[in-house]
Structure 1
Amino acid sequence: MKNMSKLALVVAAGMAASSAQAIDMEVGENTVLSVYGEVLPRFTIEEGADGNDTDEFTDDGSIVGFAAERELGNGLTAYTYIEFAYNFFGEDSDVERDASAFGLYGDFGEVALGDIDNVFEDLITDATDPFENASLDGESLTSEDKMITYYSPDFGGFAYRVQTRITDETDSDQDDLELSLMAGIEYSFDNISLHAAYDNRGSENALDSGFDSEDPVVGVAAVIDLDVVELGARYAMQGNADGNDIDYAGVSAVFDYGNGDLYAAFQEVSKDVGEDQSQFAFGANFDLADGFYMYAEYGSYDLVTGDDGTDTITEVGLVYEY
């Protein structure tokens, strides 16, 4: 099931361990090098609220990654990884760096620098997002580059995360470094995990033409694991500088039927300005072999006729992990 978590040494476990089929090579006594990746062909039908429909058979963003982990002694372990994205269909010849990070973990917890998942997304958004591509609308969050993140150890089921993004990409009126602050807490007991998180979005748009801060986003979520069924719920409030605040309230369910999962989600999107939306999506996957599965998904986003954007999506695809 997608929504795991508990502190989880998110990045260290997330890079090479993102693929159970990673090739691990011991180099000396204390160093392991890994090679891993994913191939992601898919066929997608998107219906636009403005009448512009698209059918596409393409690569969803295949990657190959290289990772290294070294025990430093005194209970400390350092790691680094870099991932490259490419299109295996040959629709273009670009091979680009997709993500990279460096980190250190031990009894103190974990510190990670680089392209790190926003902790708000990890704890709140992902609580009701079991999808490959039919995900329901999510909050607008701080960009996931130039991150510095600290993950605490597990204190009897309680853990916290603190994160900042530091950027020097500014507009003509601002010459200082700009910071975002993200933080989250998680408390797990029995089969229940409770989450709360905050993102002040202090450098949300720094990768665009200039710096533009936004009002904060706050949220809470819960995940209940009932062995073959996992239930998720979340509520998030997104304040916006233009006064159009948005609330998200959603629930999800994932059922493990043995050879894969059946999953669905529903959410209400409430806006101060404009029409509210009732969105839903559902899907299924089937394991063809270890690290190799197929999926089918449908999502409906309840856009107003004439709006820009995708109103419905239907997709089938394959995921091959190595």
Structure 2
Amino acid sequence: MKKTLLATAIAGAMAASGAQAATVYNQDGTKLDIYGNIQLAYTDIDNADGESEDGIGDNGTTFGFAAEHVIYDGLTGYLKLEFDDIKADEMATATDDDDAGDTAYIGLKGNFGDVRLGSYDQLIDDWIQDPLTNNEYFDASDSTGSRHGHGDGSDQQTDKITYTSPSFGGLQFAVGTQYKGDTDSFDSRADQGSSNASFFGGAKYTVGAFSIAAVYDNLDNVVYTDANGDVDSVGDQYGITAQYTIDTLRLAVKAERFVSDADSDSDAVDGDFYAQDTNFYGVSARYGYGMGDVYAAYQYVDVGANDFADEVEQSVEDEQDRDETYNEVILGATYNISDAMYTWAEVAMYDQENDEDDGFGVGVTYLF
């Protein structure tokens, strides 16, 4: 349900700019910042049976380090290490099973562009999905999410290298790969047993207050296990997002598609993978009113049945179940208590059976 939190993005931006983040060393071209946030929220969300479940919990508390040093004029080395799964409500850090520290990378940047190696968010997340909804708790679903997609996106965040070009008259591009070696598991369900490199890439064009971006990811290292125990990649991701800013109003529109490589529903194992091609069409708006933001998003999700082989028999009921549409609506607002502290409230409707995942939340975030 929750991707990269807005507060986490803000904290990262502060670390990069030095705003509010604590600079513990800055001498001879080397700089080290410490930053973070504490996020707590009360949520009330319907489960698969339509029953309300509420509680107070951590909402993505983060602690991180950002460092850089000038190698020579025009070339800078940098790193980022971020612990994203600190449980503020439990006063304890996460265990190894909780994916703590899932942002960790080093890189070089200069006039030639930027090269990054390590674990970080997917390009399609940063350029396509986040501009639509990068909210506090409730986001629109996408081709990386478990609601209509193929997982939670964690399989795509590790072992990557990405090159991002400088801007050429407003045009920028990025290409990268995720490499999994012979000893790496491709996901929690299976080990492919051989090394493999995926491909992802995208382009972005910015002119004035308008920008448009397109991204493709072949998901070659995100795999599923079929009923026969065979392992294969789940499919492909495509997306395009346009944004336009008018003063403090930002408008965004997104079209995204997940194309499944599965041959039939029998390839799904324990519900981990859904063998449907799925389209996502969304619009959103965010307006800064001075003391915070108000925002809204609408998304139309078209889950279509694949063109399976003739030998795969399907009932009329099964065909209808796998060919559905959903209307998602998310509303929210933030209020700044101070430069470092704000509150928020959100409500979401996902149009699922028994109103699953519908709910509301309120919370508070402190940034440093």
What TM-score bracket applies, with the shorter chain setting the length? 0.7 to 0.9
The one of 267, 276, 288 aligned to 1:244: 276
CA distance in 2, matches of 1:14, 1:183: 23
The one of 281, 301, 314 aligned to 2:360: 314
SS where residue 135 of structure 2 aligns? coil
After superposition, residues 1-322 of structure 1 pair within 5 angstroms as 14=13, 16-17=15-16, 20-84=19-83, 85-90=85-90, 92-94=92-94, 96-140=100-144, 143-168=156-181, 169-170=184-185, 174-205=192-223, 212-242=232-262, 244-272=276-304, 273-305=322-354, 310-322=356-368
Name the aligned partner's letter for residue 200 of structure 1. Answer: N
Q: Is the 8 A contact 1:180 1:204 kept in 2?
A: no
CA distance in 2, matches of 1:130, 1:63: 16
CA distance in 1, matches of 2:285, 2:47: 27
Distance 1:238 1:93, change over 3 A: closer
Name the aligned partner's letter for residue 217 of structure 1. Answer: Q
Shift of 1:311: 2.9
Structure 2 unmatched ranges of 5 or more: 1-8, 145-152, 263-274, 305-321
CA distance in 1, matches of 2:360, 2:53: 11
CA distance in 2, matches of 1:16, 1:29: 19
Q: Residues 288-312 of structure 1, C-alpha deviation per residue, up to 9 Å, x if partnerless?
A: 1112111100111111238xxx430
SS where residue 124 of structure 2 aligns? helix
Q: Is the 8 A contact 2:142 2:256 kept in 1?
A: no
Shift of 1:261: 0.6
Shift of 1:15: 7.6
TM-score w.r.t. the length of structure 1 is 0.88
Identify which range, 151-160 or 64-73, moves more after superposition: 64-73
Equivalent residue, structure 2, for 1:5? none
Name the aligned partner's letter for residue 36 of structure 1. Answer: Y
Name the aligned partner's letter for residue 204 of structure 1. Answer: V
When Rg is computed on C-alpha atoms for both structures, the one with the higher figure is 2
Shift of 1:92: 4.4
Structure 1 unmatched ranges of 5 or more: 1-9
CA distance in 2, matches of 1:174, 1:115: 20
SS where residue 259 of structure 1 aligns? coil
Name the aligned partner's letter for residue 260 of structure 2. Answer: N
CA distance in 1, matches of 2:19, 2:157: 24
Q: Identity percentage over the alignment?
A: 31
Q: Is the 8 A contact 2:67 2:78 kept in 1?
A: yes
Distance 1:19 1:47, change over 3 A: farther
- Structure with more contact order per residue of length (Cα contacts < 8 Å, sep ≥ 6): 1
Q: Is the 8 A contact 1:83 1:97 kept in 2?
A: yes
Q: Is the 8 A contact 1:19 1:291 kept in 2?
A: no
Shift of 1:79: 0.8
Shift of 1:38: 0.8
Shift of 1:181: 1.2
Distance 1:83 1:174, change over 3 A: closer
Q: Residues 102-127 of structure 1, C-alpha deviation per residue, up to 9 Å, x if partnerless?
A: 01100000001112221111111112
The structure with the largest helix share of the pair is: 2
**Number of matched residues?**
307
CA distance in 1, matches of 2:178, 2:48: 35
SS where residue 124 of structure 1 aligns? helix
Q: Is the 8 A contact 2:119 2:160 kept in 1?
A: yes
Name the aligned partner's letter for residue 161 of structure 2. Answer: I
Name the aligned partner's letter for residue 214 of structure 2. Answer: A
CA distance in 1, matches of 2:39, 2:230: 33
Distance 1:275 1:18, change over 3 A: farther
Distance 1:15 1:288, change over 3 A: closer
